[in-house]
Homo-oligomer: A and B are copies of this chain.
Amino acid sequence: MSEYIEHDPHRISVGLVQKRIVTFAEPPHAMLLESGRSLGPITIAYETYGEMNAAKSNVVLVLHALTGDAHVAGYYNEDDPKPGWWDIMVGPGKGIDTNRYFVVCSNIIGSCQGSTGPCSLNPLTGIPFGFNFPVVTIGDMVNAQKMLMDHLGIRQILAVVGGSLGGMQVLEWCLRYPHMVRSAIPLATTTRHSALAIAFNEVARQAIMADPNWNNGNYYDGRKPNVGLAVARMIGHITYLSDEAMRLKFGRRLQEKQDFSFDFSGDFQVESYLRYQGAKFVERFDANSFLYITKAADYFDIENQYGEGSAVKAFSRARAKFLVVSFTSDWLYPTYQSKAMIQAMKKNGLDASFCEIEAECGHDAFLLPNERLSALIRGFLENVEREQAA
């Protein structure tokens, strides 16, 4: 294992990486979506890290969450101020070791980070799709990833890994293409979006659609619904933290003040934090993508889709070895949901392990440095490799 120096991320990074783009489903071969509508051509933005071995047996597919992108690790250039979103996990000697594995990550369709989504040009009209973009599902996202795998000549995936919405894609992969997936690591996720999670998404969507600049999704040539999108992001950020996380991170500390302002300028650090997160987010994300991807999450229900309402029946299709991970303070996808998932796997005789990691930082925990999580994933992947070789 290569040298691991926590304090110098550049040194242990996978280094300079490049975003690639590939286009599928060119007319007249549009992709058929789960809604019955079709979509094409479809552009997929993706990145790869490490080298594929000759047997093509060392592929790890990383799947990103709601607002993520293909840029998992490394830097785009020498001046790039920060690495990809999971650089703490993916790199030489890290939890997902790029000295051993060929890591692939692609931007989901519906998003706005290079893959086809509502801000892409509609080939029929020459203007962005906006609200004419078809509703896509987690299954559609996975189907698009399957086209990318075909393009890369990958027929077997050593491991599919992802947290939150990425974890939903992990589960979808295991049930949609069971014979392609050797192992799977769904982190901080669920088999079906709960009423609470739907409720938060719906309020966030309403906040966006309440912004007059949203204009029924047609805003690409004018002012953007940044105010509504910022509120939506603030709601999201509350769900990514937790009561405990917020108490430890902010408590009732005031922002640069000794006393209450007795006005509405924002007294507390937690208020400033949320406002900052909202303001920062609108610079990098598209409001329509937020609507579409949250809708895909709300529709996600593998119990219903593959098991007529039964998780046990749904997982009877799966062939993968599983490592399911939840976090104690995650109240968006609480541990009980991961436990139900693991029980359904075990009832099918699947080789499935479960770990609940003690973490005070809420749902966001899967994205934060955690030596236990890194060690768990590293060990699991080594076992899968060993079993594959045997």
Contact = CB atoms under 8 A, between A and B. Distances in A.
Interface of A: 35-37, 131, 134-135, 192-196, 198-200, 202-203, 205-207, 209-212, 227-228, 230-231, 234-235, 237-238, 241-243, 246-247, 249-252, 260, 262-264, 266-268, 270-271, 274-275, 278, 291, 295, 298-299, 301, 304, 331, 334
Contacts of A331: 243, 331
Contacts of A212: 212
Given A246-B196, A252-B192, A202 B262 contact: no
Contacts of A207: 207, 210, 231
A202 B266 contact: yes
Nearest to A236: B203
A170 to B, nearest CB: 20
Contacts of A247: 194-196
A228 B202 CA distance: 14
A132 to B, nearest CB: 11
12 contacts: A35-B260, A131-B264, A135-B262, A195-B249, A199-B270, A202-B234, A202-B271, A206-B278, A209-B264, A212-B212, A264-B291, A331-B331
Contacts of A266: 202
A195 B270 contact: yes
Given A193-B252, A198-B268, A231-B231, 12 more contacts: A35-B260, A37-B262, A195-B270, A196-B243, A198-B252, A198-B271, A199-B241, A206-B231, A207-B231, A210-B211, A210-B227, A252-B304
